[in-house]
């Protein structure tokens, strides 16, 4: 140890610690897919996965829309169902309506439906027949969407 001038014990031990730590860190990073070949291999599947995911999502949701928003049998007579962006109602047997699911008061999504459509944010309620305001602070009716029934499925038309 005394043969190397200017090298203190502190520097020697620091170098030894760094020399032992670097291989451990390298081993940890290779477990995570690190390294040049692991990195490019990881980015390639990620790009493929990312490219496939929107296509799969798009193809999965695109056919779902033409197939229908909801099955007519799943919409109770005298009530309805709340979907992502629309409320589908069946005021009387075989008469289907659809309205925006966004409350006209403050833009909250409507929260429940029985014989009326309700918004829990401020207590507005709407008719299942025409979307008109039945109570609460809503300034205007829910916008109506045109629907069609085909093959037992309700679609926006």
Instruction: Give whole-number Cα distances, 104 to 43, 81, 87, 98, 151, in Å.
Output: 45, 18, 14, 15, 32
Instruction: Give the span between the Cα atoms of 25 and 28, in whole angstroms.
Output: 5
pTM given for the model: 0.58
Q: Judge whether 95 and 102 are in contact, CB under 8 Å.
A: no
- pLDDT digit string (tens) for 79-108? 999 999 999 999 999 999 999 999 999 999
Domains for the chain: give ranges and CATH numbers: 9-67 (no CATH), 70-156 (2.102.10.10)
- pLDDT digit string (tens) for 117-134? 999 999 999 999 999 999
């Amino acid at each position: 140890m005394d043969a190397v001038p200017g090298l203190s014990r502190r520097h020697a031990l620091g170098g030894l610690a760094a020399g032992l730590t670097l291989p451990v860190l390298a081993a940890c990073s290779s477990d995570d897919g690190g390294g040049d070949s692991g990195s490019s291999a990881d980015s390639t599947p990620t790009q493929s996965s990312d490219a496939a995911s929107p296509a799969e999502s798009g193809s999965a949701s695109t056919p779902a829309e033409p197939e229908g928003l909801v099955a007519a049998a799943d919409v109770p007579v005298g009530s309805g169902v709340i979907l992502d962006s629309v409320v589908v109602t069946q005021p009387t047997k075989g008469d289907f309506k659809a309205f925006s699911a966004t409350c006209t008061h403050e833009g909250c999504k409507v929260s429940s439906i029985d014989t009326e459509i309700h918004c829990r944010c401020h207590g507005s309620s709407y008719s299942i027949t025409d979307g008109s305001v039945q109570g609460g602070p809503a300034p205007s009716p829910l916008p109506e969407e045109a629907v069609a029934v085909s093959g037992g499925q309700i679609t926006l038309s």
